[in-house]
Chain A
Amino acid sequence: MLIQRVRPLFGAILKSSFQVDSKYLSRSSIVYHKAAYEGDGKTTVRIINQDPDLGLIIDSYGSFGFRLNNGLTVLGPMAIFPRTVLSWQIHSSDNITADSLTLFRLLEPKVDLVIIGLETKDRKVLNSVFRASREAKLNVEILATEHACATFNFLNAESRSIAGALIPPLHIEVNEDDMLNSKLHYGNLYNRRDDL
């Protein structure tokens, strides 16, 4: 079973900002710059996935479903909220209608943005999904599932009022890092046969 990891989520926190050599500047305009690298031991990185206070975050996706940061694997399309997951009974993105988005429309407090992750890039399907979301009077962001996962993660980490409606992708491109991580996950790093 191979899964694709959602792009690593880093928020670099900069502890100090350095001062530009004032030789080239007039005295009144000392500029403080922010830089990504501050030298050894000064830059810190925060991985959003490992912070339980930030709510549900999608760790990885596969053609079967999604794996969340609480250790659960979710099968099939899902409707994900800041701290809740529901199964979304949708066969493919062709079936998305205003009816299937009813829950997002009726929610109180209002959902500011629904992130819809589709498994297809077909223009016709995108249009029909967009029309459905218009009919349901929702603010939507229609993306490929791969990108929708990351978008949901970042917005959720910012604790915004959002929901995600995600359909697992049909095909995934796997790199060596993903293979290593899935082997590490199942704890069979040194097994030659990949029969999982």
Chain B
Amino acid sequence: MGAIVSRALRPIKSFNIENRAHRVISKEKPQVAPSYPSTVQDLQRVQEAVPDIDKKLESKDSHLDDRLKNVYVTSKGTPEDDITRKKQDENPNRPLPQDRNALEDFDFGFKEPERVPYGRTTLRQAIEYITSHQMNPEEATAAKIAYEYKLKESDVENILKHFKTYEVYVPETKDSKAVIAGPTKNRRKLMEQSVGKIEAKKDSNLDKQNEKSAS
């Protein structure tokens, strides 16, 4: 609705707009907009209270400057260096860091705990006993590992059964044929499995062919 009204009124509003605009622009000093009534009231009230307010604001007040000269800032308490020294003396077991270099990366990507609760294991320990068991299964038995690392024997048995370290094969040259690398037991399983399947398929095909030829 508003849009329609303003559209209807537009020709009246913009009547002779060019001339009127030029008249305003060509004035040498633009007319100042009237101040708000409440502002005018405030100004009048100040003028009545302090008649020479303009002069006072412009001139320098030496009295105020003198007061500023009497302001001083002082501090109390012990200096920062003394506090640091006192803290070092209080607790010699926790010395403040001296080295500002960047921290070196941890071996396993995380900080290892200094104390491990009974029944738990760190990754470093796990790799240690898995490797030793693989090297010498008769010597490093689950019971011995469980006793040494304070673990449950059933847990150790499960870990040793399900986790193995890898054997690493590096081909001598780039052209030499790749040797299958992997956990010993698994490799055998993989090979046996793949061979078995292919042979079974071939046999079944042959059987079928034989049947066909027989019929």
Contact = CB atoms under 8 A, between A and B. Distances in A.
Contacts, number: 98
B187 A75 contact: yes
A74 to B, nearest CB: 7
Interface of A: 53, 55, 65, 72-76, 79, 81-91, 99-100, 102-103, 106-109, 159, 161, 187
B158 to A, nearest CB: 4
A85 B155 CA distance: 20
B119 interface: yes
19 contacts: A75-B183, A76-B182, A81-B108, A84-B127, A85-B166, A86-B127, A89-B161, A89-B163, A89-B164, A89-B185, A90-B162, A91-B189, A100-B158, A103-B163, A106-B120, A107-B126, A108-B116, A109-B111, A109-B112
Interface string B42-56: 000000000000000
B17 interface: no
A83 B108 contact: yes
Q: How large is the interface on B (under 10, 10 to 19, 20 to 34, 35 or more residues)?
A: 35 or more
Contacts of B168: 72
A55 B162 CA distance: 24
A99 B120 contact: no
Interface of B: 105, 107-113, 116-117, 119-123, 126-127, 130, 151, 155, 158-159, 161-166, 168, 174, 180-183, 185-187, 189-190
Nearest to A71: B170
A82 B108 contact: yes
A109 B111 CA distance: 8
Most chain A C-beta atoms within 10 Å of own C-beta, residue among B105, B162, B187: B162
Nearest to B105: A53
Contacts of A55: 109
Nearest to B174: A187
Given A76-B183, A83-B109, A108-B122, 13 more contacts: A75-B190, A76-B182, A83-B108, A84-B108, A84-B127, A86-B130, A87-B165, A88-B162, A88-B163, A89-B185, A102-B158, A102-B162, A109-B112
